[in-house]
Structure 1
Amino acid sequence: MLKAADIMNTQVVTIRGSATVAEAVQRMKETGSHTLIVDRRHDQDAYGIVTETDVVYKVTAYGKDPKRVRVCDIMTKPCIVVNPDLGVEYVARLFANTGIHQAPVIQGSLMGVVSIQDILAKGDFVEQPKELVLEERIQQAIERARAVCANKGAASKECAIAWEEVEELQAEAAHQKAELLYGTKTAFEAYCEENPDALEARIYDN
């Protein structure tokens, strides 16, 4: 499964918050970047972000002089950041839920920037859609659970743990589809119809 670190752009273009918007526009033109990350003033400070949309909507649209407006006046700070280990589909969902198009990738320090364009150009959602991958993992987990239960017994702790893995994957699949499992028989419930003793094993000491 691809992560943010796999598709992010590591050529990050930064700028100071005290720089003018004119300087920011010049930096964008020179680097071909649509987004600039605003440097922190100190280690405890948050990163900011300024985009070409900020420039157009907040400066150009009102006829303001970009040489007199500072980046700090139009930037977003603190900005939404992405963990490098976050799966690409969750990056996409974060963007969808917040309405943003790009975000810095940070783990201790600034590692890169990930954008909608990166998801489309470098993501594997066409070749390996999460829905199909999860379905395959669920079927494999069900086979493992049945094998464990056949070996250890339907009422064993190991059997219960194996079925918990199945249910966690099924819950993730339901969440992926924005659906609930209400009214839908889970694989464990189907197994319990065959092996009623298995239900008792769900109550065990950790």
Structure 2
Amino acid sequence: MMKVADIMTTEVIQIRNSVKVAEAVRLMRQQGIHTLIVERNHDQDAYGIVTAFDIVAKVTAFGRDPQRVRVYEIMTKPCLVLNPELGVEYAARLLTSTGIHSAPIIQKSLLGILSISDILDQGDFLDKPLEVELAKKIQHLIADANSVCQQMGPDSKVCKRAWQAVDVVQAEAALQRSEKLEKTAFEAFYEEYPEAFKDGEYDTWCSG
């Protein structure tokens, strides 16, 4: 799975919260961008974000003078931040579900910024859609689980753990499709080999 760090923009333009909106507009035009990260005031402070949409919706649309409005009046703070190790698909879900176009990438410090455009232009979802990758992984894990259980026996701990690994990915695939998982692979295995889970071993194993 492609990560946020693989496609994020590392050159992030920052601006102070006290700067007038007119200067923010000039900076956006000069850099050819639509998003500015608002600097923190101290180490415990949060980053902010101001976008072209903020400017148009909160200044231009009301005829306000951008020379008299400051960034802190229209910015969003704290803003949604992304982890560089997060999968691109999940970053896309976060951005779209919150209705925002971009977010800073932070891991102790500001590392970059990711936008919907970055995902569209650089994401690998055309060649490697997540649902297809998860389906392949499930099939591979099922084959491994069957092999392990044949060698070690259906009542062995390694067999049960192998099916647990299948279940985890099955649940993730169901989440990705927003579907209800009626029966996991391990539950199907349990029904096929009930003798392997005598004396409540199934409940004990499932509870950790």
TM-score range for the pair, normalised by the shorter chain length: over 0.9
Give per-residue Cα distances to partners, 1:146-188, cap 9 Å, x unaligned.
1111121111111111111001111001000001112xx4333
2:141 and 2:148 map into 1 onto residues whose CA distance is 10
Give the residue type in structure 1 aligned to 2:105: V
| Cα displacement (A) at 1:71 | 0.3
Aligned residue runs from structure 1 range 30-109, under 5 A: 30-109=30-109
In the alignment, is residue 186 of structure 1 matched against residue 184 of structure 2? yes
Give the residue type in structure 2 aligned to 1:120: L
SS for the counterpart of 1:37 is: strand
SS for the counterpart of 1:106 is: strand
1:26 and 1:199 map into 2 onto residues whose CA distance is 69
Asked whether the equivalents of residues 160 and 198 of structure 1 are also in contact (C-alpha less than 8 Å), the reply is no
Residue 161 of structure 2: aligned partner: 161
2:187 and 2:164 map into 1 onto residues whose CA distance is 11
Residue 127 of structure 2: aligned partner: 127
Give per-residue Cα distances to partners, 1:64-116, cap 9 Å, x unaligned.
11111100000000000000011000001101211111000000000000000
Residue 11 of structure 1: aligned partner: 11
Aligned alpha-carbon RMSD (Å): 1.4
TM-score, length of structure 1 as denominator length = 0.94
Identity of counterpart residues, as a percentage? Answer: 57
2:141 and 2:188 map into 1 onto residues whose CA distance is 14
1:144 and 1:197 map into 2 onto residues whose CA distance is 21
Give the residue type in structure 1 aligned to 2:122: K
Structure 1: gaps spanning 5 or more residues? none
Moved more, 189-198 or 80-89: 189-198
Cα 1:107/1:119, change in 2 over 3 Å: same
Asked whether the equivalents of residues 4 and 85 of structure 1 are also in contact (C-alpha less than 8 Å), the reply is yes
Give the residue type in structure 1 aligned to 2:184: T
Cα 1:115/1:198, change in 2 over 3 Å: farther
2:197 and 2:139 map into 1 onto residues whose CA distance is 20
- Residues paired across the two proteins, number: 204
Asked whether the equivalents of residues 160 and 186 of structure 2 are also in contact (C-alpha less than 8 Å), the reply is no
1:159 and 1:87 map into 2 onto residues whose CA distance is 29
SS for the counterpart of 1:181 is: coil
Residue 174 of structure 2: aligned partner: 174
1:199 and 1:115 map into 2 onto residues whose CA distance is 49
1:158 and 1:179 map into 2 onto residues whose CA distance is 29
